[in-house]
Amino acid sequence: MLLVGNLPVVGQAKPSQPPAPDAGYSGMYSFLQDGEFVQVSVEEAGRVTGFVSRYGDQESDRGAFLDQFFKQGRLDGKNLAFTTETVHAVWYEFKGTVERGAGKNPGDEAYYLLKGTLTEYTTDVNKKTTSKVREVVLKQFPEDLNSAPAARN
């Protein structure tokens, strides 16, 4: 045992770092239709990764499940923006904010909401791009839906 003066020194406790306030924003959020979702992962320095998982709605992919990974994503305070990769001539751009929702506790459904403008871009066979803009509110899924199911005996 080390003594300093007459007092024993057991070791210095390092102050624990509280999680970054935006760490809780990571998770799954609803998308445009039932069964569709956005996975958002907030990383260091405001970098955001993730993907949109949605049903195809073009003739060639109608009903198929498509994943569109973020080409770029950024969180600055509560301001969130992301753009997806193009899949089957469609990509999305979101610009909005992360806000508290109706969920009472972290992990509850709609504890956080993504509110903002979602623009869907579509390029046709003639290389003409059109856009559809809509205001959206994407609700965070409950935490038990974000994790893998527990192993059964």
- How many percent of the chain have pLDDT more than 90? 66
Q: Which of 51-55, 67-71, 143-147 has the lowest mean pLDDT?
A: 143-147
Rounded Cα distance between 39 and 86, Å, is 17
Q: Decide if pLDDT at 52 tops 60.
A: yes
Q: What is each CA distance from 73 to 23, 92, 113, in whole angstroms?
A: 15, 12, 17
The pLDDT value given to residue 39: 97
Measured CA to CA, the distance from residue 115 to residue 38 in angstroms comes to 13
Query: Please, what CATH class does the domain formed by 22-143 belong to?
Result: mainly beta
Beta-carbon contacts of residue 72 (< 8 Å; ≥ 6 apart) = 82, 83
All structural domains of the chain with their residue ranges? 22-143
| Helices (H), ranges, the chain | 143-146
The pLDDT, as a whole number, for residue 121 is: 97
Q: Tell me 101's DSSP state.
A: -
